[in-house]
Structure 1
């Protein structure tokens, strides 16, 4: 371990150590401590770590050092534009003092702005797969001299269907490159993807793939769709810090945000129906305290990197169990403790079981509080948001009863989900 030496002893150049000290970083996170010494030597890295563990600097510091040593330009690929912006901001804290310039290639903003960035010959390009390919087709960028390729949140890129775009980009990058591959989970399809990109990689695993952070306490309520707004109001009244609420659908995020505002809370929303400027404003407002509550969909939330989130609420369960790990990883960052509460409808038991199998732990089930005292009127758009009745689509199946699992409430919950069915609303 390197606890007493801080960032010293990791093979980091003195000039970069000075920058790290000026920024105020004193102790590397576990992923930084393990990945940096490997990456600065030019070796490929397969990093498995949850969100909020310092992954960006785990690859950012070695990338900067390799460039300073003549290691060539780097390409960093991320799944969403919000994450691209966050990664660029983080890298610039180390790179700009070294004279290393970056360019961010994302959708939702004028491509002419990106042409200007590229004209300055940046040593690091950060971008999303689609916009990177747009520039490849316009011949505004070439990766023939790229020496370092970084794939961040690779599991999310695969979930979003970016495998064809990644293959196309990979074909343009030299084979004699260094590849740094990071993912929060490592299912078989991600292992296959990693094999296609990495050469004799060193595997760095901070937590077992799919596990939840130890400093995040978890709680589960079985609740009907109609009761969710009142339970949400009750919970928001009990927590005073910043709260991140997840909705599976963009329409749901909009309606939830409207309901939260009707309660008297300051709230913003991030989903694909919002422009890039609106999403930036919402995220910045959430960071600086203008908004106490942020409502987001899974894809839009990938760039959220805020250390002070006290509570994550899964208003809807995610489409797959891996997303649960990503969601709750938004709290409990930077060594702080966090709390995650999930709402599950009675017919979503299979989904709950799938999450429990992935995280290797039973979710503690809490009894519903008395909700009759709720007085906030639900906005019309929220009242109209009702699920279309039908069987639930399951991404899991019933497993054997686990020893030590908490007792589950069974009365009044209706029937269980039927495997192979569809979710009640889309």
Structure 2
């Protein structure tokens, strides 16, 4: 395992690993408290794998009965944990799988049926699979709760309690958290026995290598230009927004300005989230625009700048967002952009976070901004944006659903003149082909390709001209005359 770590460039432990490993390797219950980026993932992965690789393995692996369970609050964190522990587990021939919602459960069920030693899971989907009988926790030797405070913030504690109640009482338990508030202390009292507390950093302790900046701007246009300037550097940077819609919108605006950016938020499918995060991790894209879903669980090296485009609502979110930079001993900068009406709330937030910083009145041309940007990345010409097809449409632009086919048949005159939505033509009812457009019945020629009301016209799926509505990806957008506006928000 030491060789596997060395192959990743990891040759010395972090303080939380130094403190906890003697107890965790000895099988004791451990409560580890340390802020994000302190090395908690390896602090529990190393002893878990080392112990399971020995006598705890207990013979052949059994379908649906894992030996170790790691609970995490978000899909991104669960995925990151799996990536970190997999090289270590492979040394001992241990198999792991990741379980979370937002994707089909088919692959997860197949992995459980084949037999796995370690399950890394988000609580909701795991409980679903337990209820369906695909996983049983009665063989779990080691249980780990990671980011327990964030699970509490998300309202997962009742589910976590039901899950932990299904694990053996005599198993080893480890709980890692930045804080012990919001019910985390109840988990500690209920599930940890004779635990050892290791607290490396206080919840609000600042990172020495992290430099904080507060940039005050006089209005939204100045802020927009400043955001583009700060995003234009050649290094990795994360821009945090409060809402999903604004994260998506800003990522598109930056890309259209020649600064490739991807978004990360709860409205994306898991495939989209994985694809965007992979592009950012690989360095193909240097700018990630995210909501607080990325404040924990996104462990990407060498993020040189975190920008709070929208100041967060509370100080814990500020600390976790900021913790994406200055990780593993590296240096990093954190910028908070503040409009005039946000100054009072931002000052209060920073006091609660124990961050002392003098605000600066800036524009995109200010020396402090230029120094943070550093080398400017080359302009990247944006690719033509492919319009997302309307749900229910084929690529030809015509909905193939039974309801739409019936409406088209009625509209083309096959009902003998009515054509109302509430009437079914003989052709639609019997399954026979509808009569050709313009045949006797309506007394007038059929419309060419439909109006676009039932999912697009026959002419490439253009929306109804004159300001009709086009349904795209769950958002209703007004189309311009002659078709949908390309690249609309």
| 1:301 shift after superposition | 4.5
1:317 lines up with 2:311 in the alignment: yes
Q: d(CA) in 2 for partners of 1:132 and 1:198?
A: 21
1:233 lines up with 2:235 in the alignment: no
Give the SS at the match of 2:360.
Answer: coil
1:90 lines up with 2:84 in the alignment: yes
* Residue 43 (structure 1) aligned to one of 24, 28, 35: 28
Question: Deviation per CA, 1:309-344, whole angstroms, max 9, x where unpaired?
Answer: 110001112222111111111001122100000123
* Residue 56 (structure 1) aligned to one of 41, 44, 69: 41
The number of equivalent residue pairs is 357
Task: Indicate conservation of the 8 Å contact 1:244/1:294, yes or no.
Answer: yes
1:295 lines up with 2:293 in the alignment: no
Task: Please provide the CA RMSD for this pair.
Answer: 2.0
Give the SS at the match of 1:294.
Answer: strand
Q: Which residue in 2 is equivalent to 1:306?
A: 300
Question: Deviation per CA, 1:346-384, whole angstroms, max 9, x where unpaired?
Answer: 333454344333332323312212669xxxxxxxxxxxx
Q: Which residue in 2 is equivalent to 1:274?
A: 268
Give the SS at the match of 2:161.
Answer: helix
| 1:36 shift after superposition | 1.4
Task: Indicate conservation of the 8 Å contact 1:185/1:322, yes or no.
Answer: no
Normalized against structure 2, the TM-score is what?
0.69
Q: d(CA) in 2 for partners of 1:273 and 1:98?
A: 38
1:359 lines up with 2:344 in the alignment: no
| 1:300 shift after superposition | 4.1
Q: d(CA) in 1 for partners of 2:128 and 2:204?
A: 33
Normalized against structure 1, the TM-score is what?
0.79
Q: Which residue in 2 is equivalent to 1:76?
A: 70
Matches within 5 A, 1:209-228: 209-223=203-217, 224-228=219-223
* Residue 156 (structure 2) aligned to one of 147, 156, 162: 162
Q: d(CA) in 2 for partners of 1:217 and 1:211?
A: 13
Tell me which moved more, 296-305 or 61-70.
296-305
Q: d(CA) in 2 for partners of 1:202 and 1:121?
A: 32
Structure with higher Rg: it is 2
| 1:31 shift after superposition | 1.4
Task: Indicate conservation of the 8 Å contact 1:50/1:213, yes or no.
Answer: no
Question: Deviation per CA, 1:169-221, whole angstroms, max 9, x where unpaired?
Answer: 11111211211111123336333333233222211122112223221101112
1:129 lines up with 2:106 in the alignment: no
Give the SS at the match of 1:302.
Answer: coil
Give the SS at the match of 1:117.
Answer: helix
Q: Residues 269 and 370 (structure 1 numbering): CA distance in 2 closer, same or farther, change over 3 Å?
A: closer
Q: d(CA) in 2 for partners of 1:133 and 1:307?
A: 33
Q: Which residue in 2 is equivalent to 1:335?
A: 329
